[in-house]
Amino acid sequence: MRKKGYYGKFGGRFVPETLMPALYQLEEEFKRAKNDISFRKEFSSYLREYVGRPTPLYFAKNASERLNLKLYLKREDLCHTGAHKIINALGQVLLAKRMGKKRIIAETGAGQHGVAVATASSLLGLECTIYMGIDDVERQKMNVNRIKMLGAEVLPVGSGTRTLKDAINEALRDWVTNVRTTHYVIGTVFGPHPYPEMVKYFVSVIGKEAKRQIIKKEGRIPDVVIACVGGGSNSLGIFFPFLKIREVQLIGVEAGGEGIDSGRHAARFQRGRIGIFQGSKSYVLQDEWGQILDTYSIAPGLDYASVGPEHSFLFETGRVSYGFSKDDEVIDAYLFLSRTEGILPALESSHAIAFLLKNRQKYEGRTVLLNLSGRGDKDITTVLERLKKDHDKGNI
């Protein structure tokens, strides 16, 4: 029997005492909400009429012919706000209202979670503050402006690596100070219990839809399911209904950055060790003294030193295989999908596409389901700058 809040030895609730009452309250409210038909109906109504679910399952005919396989894309890029993040954001903000909270805080890297939380807060009438590393503010200007247009405050974080890790630290400090009136919307299947379980509950709609859709289209389940892994919500969301079906191969793809041996990456399962970080026990990129290492990815949503605890459990049990894609492969994948299917994929999602391109021979003749977790218009400036840099160096 699984210990509450744990996946094997991973998970837990490692936070200051001042936050424990808020976590207990959240856990109890989440339990009640799951069993409350009116909450489930309200949540489902918003997903259907506001978010635009179910999202399509698209057969990528041109890409499939190029790769000699059947590629289906779960089109989370077509959600309102442009990514899967709105699902969890709406669920948590609805819970916050049930608990009588007046204020919402969140962290964001790629900006999509920040946009989603600002959107849900505006919709449901709550004050909203978003923490974001200064480096991410710079490379995701469009999403920063979207957050502000939605009425939320963006607070740049200039400490540490000036990216997602430090934005989370600042959000946690805020929450400790304002815990009675504030709910912290963690954006992935990470953090102290009950966040990993709660976020998985909300985002599992992705996989449930995809399973029904691919059976309707193909008359069978897929051979392979692939998704990128930052904290791990989009991947766990689509993996969820297949976890107990052993014949389905599940693959998570991390950020290989400039290469695993370069030290500039965010591949926790390649170079990480087990540790406790930001409220949870999981795989963490850390040195021999337990100091958190700087991470890097061209995709800000994957630029994080740890990973959701259930992913660590799935890694150690071997149920999910975890690979990585490097920046140059990711840019090629971004252009590949853009030019074969007319779809600009988020740089995060492009990691999954890159892994498939790199390993295409292994999957020839097979049916592959890939989660296109977000749209890539937010990344156009980054891609153009990278292409110019490679051109100037004579690499293209």
- SS3 for 212-228, per residue? HHHHHHHCCCCCEEEEE
Nearest by Cα to 108 from 152, 163, 160, 172: 163
Q: Are residues 116 and 255 in the same domain?
A: no
Number of domains in the chain: 2
**What is the rounded distance in angstroms from the CA atom of residue 115 to the CA atom of residue 119?**
6
Q: Are residues 308 and 369 in the same domain?
A: yes
Q: Are residues 246 and 378 in the same domain?
A: yes
Catalytic residues: 85, 107, 373
Q: Which residue has the tokens 């503010």?
A: 137
Query: If pLDDT is split at 50, 70 and 90, which confidence band does 285 have?
Result: very high
**What is the rounded distance in angstroms from the CA atom of residue 104 to the CA atom of residue 123?**
12
Q: Are residues 282 and 158 in the same domain?
A: no
Q: Are residues 18 and 113 in the same domain?
A: yes
pLDDT number for residue 296: 95
Contacts 24+ apart (CB under 8 A), 287-294: 292/165, 293/263, 294/161
Q: Is residue 2 part of a domain?
A: no
Mean pLDDT of the region 230-254 = 98
199, 219, 244 - which closes a domain: 199
Nearest by Cα to 231 from 138, 109, 324: 109
What are 113-156's pLDDT values in tens digits? Answer: 999 999 999 999 999 999 999 988 988 899 999 999 999 999 99
pTM above 0.85, yes or no: yes
**What is the rounded distance in angstroms from the CA atom of residue 241 to the CA atom of residue 353?**
21
DSSP string, 66-88: HHTSEEEEEEGGGSTTSBTHHHH
Query: If pLDDT is split at 50, 70 and 90, which confidence band does 396 have?
Result: low
Q: List, in sequence order, every residue forming a beta bridge with 313; answer none if it has no partner.
A: none
Range of the domain at 333: 52-82+203-393
In the Cβ-directed half-sphere of 282, how many Cα atoms lie within 13 Å?
A: 35
What are 249-272's pLDDT values in tens digits? Answer: 999 999 999 999 999 999 999 999
Q: Is residue 1 part of a domain?
A: no
Q: Are residues 104 and 145 in the same domain?
A: yes
CATH number at residue 344: 3.40.50.1100
